[in-house]
Structure 1
Amino acid sequence: MGIKKIFLVSTLLRGRGGMESVLRIFSEEMKRRGISVRIIFLGVFKKRKHDLNWLHGLDYTILFPNYPFKDPIRTFIENKRLMKIILEEEPDACIALNNAAIQALWSLKKSGLPIVIHSWVHFSLNILHNIKILKKADHYLAISSGIAREIESKLNVDPNHIDIVFNPVILTKNRIPKPKHGTVRFLFMGRLTEQKDPQLLFYALENLKGEWRLDIVGDGHLKEQLMKIAEEGGFLERITWHGWQPVDPWSYVQENIKNVSALVLSSRNEGFPMVLVEAISRGVFCISTNCPTGPEDIICEENGVLTPVGNVEAMRDKLQSQIDKNEHSCTERSEIIAHSIDKFSVDQYASRILKILEKAKQRDNDD
């Protein structure tokens, strides 16, 4: 029997996050295995808001990119077209990436469409609106242990209907070495927004002793506030602002920054922070807040350290420890770090999720 065709249903994504990276890796690996993946988007396309470059080469459909009417007319017509596509193409699995997608698929199922709704949300339930909609799913793909616990406790879902899949990462052989000597270099990669809490990092940088620099690959509306904090703290000249790198930020780091002592994640919450596994796969040590959810599944003794969310002093201590150690580039150490996340390899991930989808399909056929 097996899985031959998968539909991913979602509202339009901005095109600049870890979720987009996961969907591309997922789609390309399934294609390599002879399985087609089609991404179907709900909602209105807005050029200023949505960057579609990440979808290049993928099979995707925006149901009504410029449809003029608002809810509930738009929703009704979108659902009709979605049902038509599902009936015509008969996917083996329908996976919803957010509440709106779950609601749309549930409406079709309620109308008689025989589908199993898999929920694959990429954020902690603590930040999602109207989480009761998630209860309309039949099965849950949890990208972290924390999200699995949240689904079970907050939605009262039978744990037999929850599977932890993590997220896939391409385990590159490219390594980003530490500086050979001298200044410690910290790297922040991500959006400069409240969720990522770069303010925590900047306040922690105040009063650090020793030679250090911070490279920021990313952009966002908090940049001016961060520059003010750095200026008042007397370390603005230690920061290099590289801006958003839309194509391949890690290639940019390797070509332009070259050496990294540690990547820093200061987030208040995550779903499964891909930036951590991407850094670790390149042999980069990580300092991360133990935010809900994800870091606890990724960070271990071999590859990094965790700090409490929002705790400036704890973050400062971990940064200072890196400066005090000032360990130089070591090939053996980089390899130990890189291999600490082999369980997140694309191959293991794809085999894991296909086994889960096949089991759900078989169970549905038996019913």
Structure 2
Amino acid sequence: MIISLLPSFFSNQKPSTEPMYIKFLNYRSSLIFCIPELVIGGSEIALCEMLLALKETNIFDLSVITFNKITHPRYKYFFEEHGITVLDASKDETKPKFLRNILRLHKARKYFKQQDIIVDFKYTYAYRFYRGIKKPKICWLHCGFNYFQNHLNAELLSKYDKVVCLSNNIIHEIKENYPLLQDKIVRIYNPINVERILNQSNDIMFSTDGRYFVAVQRLDPHEKDVETVIRAFNIFAESNKELKLYIVGGGSVEYTDYLKGLCETDRIIFTGELKKPYSMIKNAEALILSSKMEVGEGLPMVLLESQALNTLCISSNVKSGPPEILLNGQAGLLFETSNPEDLANKLTAVCSDQVDVSKLVQYAKEQITRFSSKKSAEDFIKVIHEIRTE
């Protein structure tokens, strides 16, 4: 017996008149999502949003396996609230050292064997735990092409049934450079729920005053480029004595102190990590995202969230991710990567009405449905259907 999914499987969506293309066997599929750890980051936020969207379909038994204990209260609350099973495959520190890895491997493999489909949601981290287990496997790449070339093994990725990328650009680059992955690569955008983000923007996490820009990203010297944001604002502040810059994100004490040492004005304010920075983003002149060209981006969630809040985005023009979200400058501003002078010019242009901010924001708003959680979940279900019918 075959069951067709009705277009209205999302309970909070109106039924669509469009035919659905997806059919499933008459038993529920169990999906396990693997992630190394649950910290505040774009891939973790995307995972939670995807889980909620899939849960709405009511056709999956969902679980998450993590290899480090969950300590962040945000995630403890999330999984309890939504009834999603979390499997702990962290090392048992009470056991002798020589036994810890063996026991963890045994425990993880037991979990994986009980599932129908394995989804490695952050690269190939968990592959060693389910290697040899005869289950359909999907790998999710949260990266740009530069990171792919430097850190990932195409031959290993070819062992997966499907490899999910976050942007059209990285798919083009991978297919062009790695023919063995031609038939495995698919694109699924990071999902967002605009209504939920707008509702949460009413929660004030940090008090602000006056006009300001905001940068929301990890204080990570290896992947993010907060230094360029600070240097750009130093230049901008020489001719603008009014606006502030809030930097939202956590990092090591040493690196945070280093960044603070770069500030030439007391109008650069570090807030630390905030659970929901949406209120700050909503009321900002613009959100700034700066990334390193040698690392690149997958599909940064913070840009999607900013567009959902009708806030202008200003992003470094790395190869993939931001240009696709901002439609090459039609839905936001792009500056030359690691160029503080160019970013400072963009900040000045925004404040002096040299660019039509309302036009950019409106166009972004019109295009935001590309990233809806409903659409991303449907794309993922289609991938599973393809695996089942191959």
Would you say same fold, with TM above 0.5? Answer: yes
What is the CA-CA distance between 1:250 and the residue it aligns to?
1.3
The within-5 A match list for 1:69-218 is 74-87=100-113, 89-91=114-116, 93-97=117-121, 98-105=123-130, 107=131, 109=132, 113-124=133-144, 126-127=146-147, 130-132=151-153, 133-153=156-176, 155-172=178-195, 174=198, 184-194=211-221, 195-208=223-236, 209-210=239-240, 211-218=242-249
Secondary structure of residue in 1 paired with 2:352: helix
Q: Partner of 1:280 in structure 2?
A: 307
Per-residue deviation, 1:148 = 2.1
| Aligned ranges 1:206-285 → 2 under 5 Å | 206-208=234-236, 209-210=239-240, 211-221=242-252, 222-231=255-264, 235-236=265-266, 238-246=267-275, 248-251=276-279, 253=280, 259-268=283-292, 269-285=296-312
Tell me how far 1:292 sits from its aligned partner. Answer: 4.1
Q: Contact 2:214 / 2:287 at 8 angstroms: preserved in 1? A: yes
Change (3 A) 1:328 1:125: closer
Distance 2:55 2:350 in 1: 42
CA contact (8 A) 1:30 1:36 kept: no
- CA-CA distance at 1:333 after TM superposition: 7.0
**Which residue does 2:343 correspond to in 1?**
315
- Give the one of 43, 66, 79 matched to 1:41: 66
Q: Which one is further off, 75-84 or 200-209?
A: 75-84
Q: In structure 2, what is the Cα distance between the partners aligned to 1:104 and 1:141?
A: 20
Q: Distance in 1 between matches of 2:214 and 2:151?
A: 35
Per-residue deviation, 1:174 = 3.1
Kindly state the Cα deviation for residue 326 of structure 1 after the two structures are TM-superposed: 7.7
Distance 1:9 1:213 in 2: 40
CA-to-aligned-CA distance 1:212-252 (integer Å, 9 cap, x gap): 22122223233222222213xxx22x223222113x2214x
Corresponding residue number in structure 2 for 1:355: 382
Q: Can you list the C-alpha shifts for 1:263-313, whole angstroms capped at 9, x where unaligned?
A: 000111222210000001110111101224311220124420112211222
Deviation at 1:70, TM superposition (A): 5.5
Partner Cα separation in structure 1 for residue 224 and residue 232 of structure 2: 14
Q: Answer yes or no: is the 8 Å Cα contact 1:282–1:334 preserved in 2.
A: no
In structure 1, how many angstroms separate the alpha carbons of the residues matched to 2:319 and 2:85? 32
CA distance in 1, matches of 2:187, 2:96: 39
**Deviating more after overlay: 161-170 vs 306-315:** 306-315
Query: Matches of 1:159 and 1:329 in 2, distance apart?
Result: 40
Separation in 2, partners of 1:148, 1:166: 12
Over residues 86-128 of structure 1, what are the superposed CA-to-partner deviations in whole Å (9 max), with x where a residue is unaligned?
A: 33x342x2111232212332x2x2xxx3212211121235336
Q: Partner of 1:305 in structure 2?
A: 333
- State the shift of 1:163 in Å: 0.4
Residue in structure 2 matched with residue 51 of structure 1 by the alignment:
72
Tell me the secondary structure at the aligned position of residue 230 of structure 2. Answer: helix
State yes or no: 1:60 paired with 2:80. no
| Cα-to-partner distance string for 1:306-355 (whole Å, 9 max, x where unaligned) | 1221122221221111121188996x875543232211001111111101
**Secondary structure at the residue paired with 1:325?**
coil
Corresponding residue for residue 20 of structure 2: none
Q: Distance in 2 between matches of 1:333 and 1:317?
A: 17
Residues 78/148 of structure 1: CA separation in 2 closer, same or farther (3 Å cut): farther
2:31 counterpart letter in structure 1: I
Secondary structure in structure 1 of the residue aligned to 2:75: helix
Superposed CA RMSD: 3.0
Q: Is the 8 A contact 2:233 2:245 kept in 1?
A: no
TM-score (norm 1): 0.81
Q: How many residues align?
A: 336
The normalised TM-score by structure 2 is 0.77
C-alpha deviation, 1:136, in angstroms: 3.2
Residue 95 of structure 1 aligns to a residue whose secondary structure is strand
Q: Using the alignment, how far apart are the partners of 1:150 and 1:357 within structure 2?
A: 24
Once residues 187 and 299 of structure 1 are traced to their aligned partners in structure 2, the CA distance between those partners, rounded to angstroms, is 17
Residue 325 of structure 1 aligns to which amino acid in structure 2? D
Q: Percent identity?
A: 22
Query: Matched residue of 2:110: which SS?
Result: helix
> 5+ residue gaps in structure 2?
1-23, 202-208
Quote the Cα distance in structure 2 between the aligned partners of 1:227 and 1:326: 30
Q: Please state how far the C-alpha of 1:55 moved relative to its aligned partner.
A: 4.2
Paired letter, 2:245: L
C-alpha contact 2:232 2:343 (8 A) present in aligned 1: yes
- In the alignment, the residues of structure 2 paired with residue 250 and residue 296 of structure 1 have an alpha-carbon distance, to the nearest angstrom, of 22
